[in-house]
Amino acid sequence: MSLNRRILEWRDQRVWVVGASSGIGEALAMALLTRGARVALSARRAGELERLAAAHGAQALAVPLDVTDAAAVLPALRRVVSAWGGVDLVVLCSGAHQPVRAWDLDAADARRLVDVNINGVINCLAPVINQLLQQGAGGVAVVSSVAGYGGLPTALVYGATKAALINLSETLYLDLAPRGIGVYVINPGFVKTPLTDRNTFAMPALISVEAAATAIIAGFARGDFEIHFPKRFTLWLKLLRLLPYRWYFALVHKGTGL
């Protein structure tokens, strides 16, 4: 049984993708545009957004936004709602990544990751939830990561922010699903993006951003709450998390070589 409304037809769906200038967000926005959705593109880089939107005419709307600026979110949302009369799905893709080991921990760098990955999502959620509740329909998707399943080397701060987003999304679902609002949490494995290019270790089951976008759209079509991929990797991580810590730590060390 689906936990959310199944999105099978994208033509004329009004979608706001926040974090759409690169990586998974850009690939998802382009995939939705090709399926007929109207897509608002948000990120900090206004020039890049304008370039992406220009190729799709009135079907795409460039809405520059820095998610760490809480005061800027509501005006951006109002632009989308004013242009299209509402919004059917908001996908929060903005995120930052920096590999960190315990002996390299820097409080200022950690705060910057937290500000983008957690506070940036919360900044967006507050006005978005209000809009969806006023409409009485729609959905919100939060892009987290399988790094949030459990502790992993080099993900000292990043993994903690993604674990927080998983917990946040679960609680959002409990609150909003009874009111007819869809909630999705998207947990990718390794996807080749400018962020994962910073990793210096072998990334198992690495996939392209286009494959990630296809997996996300398939998850929306199934009405999943959690959309995770590629399953040949993510299912092993889910199983690993069920093991006693003695086994978990040993297998993580062996599997990563770190």
What CA–CA distances, in Å, run from 23 to 57, 115, 150?
22, 19, 23
C-alpha to C-alpha distance for 258 and 256, rounded to whole angstroms: 5
Tell me if 20 sits within 8 A of 42, measured CB to CB.
yes
Rg, the chain, Cα only: 18
C-alpha to C-alpha distance for 213 and 31, rounded to whole angstroms: 7
For residue 6, how many other CB atoms are within 10 A of its CB? 12
Strand 38-42 to strand 14-18: parallel, antiparallel, or no bridges (unpaired)? parallel
CB contact burial 68-99 (16+ within 10 A = b; e otherwise): beeeebbebbebbbeebeebbbbbbbbbbbbb
C-alpha to C-alpha distance for 92 and 102, rounded to whole angstroms: 28
What CA–CA distances, in Å, run from 241 to 90, 170, 246?
30, 17, 11
Q: Say whether 173 is catalytic.
A: no
The catalytic position among 158, 173, 184, 245 is 158
Query: Which parts of 63-205 fold into alpha helices (H)?
Result: 70-84, 107-114, 120-135, 158-176
| DSSP codes, 200-226 | -S--TT-B-HHHHHHHHHHHHHHT-SE
Positions annotated as catalytic residues are 158
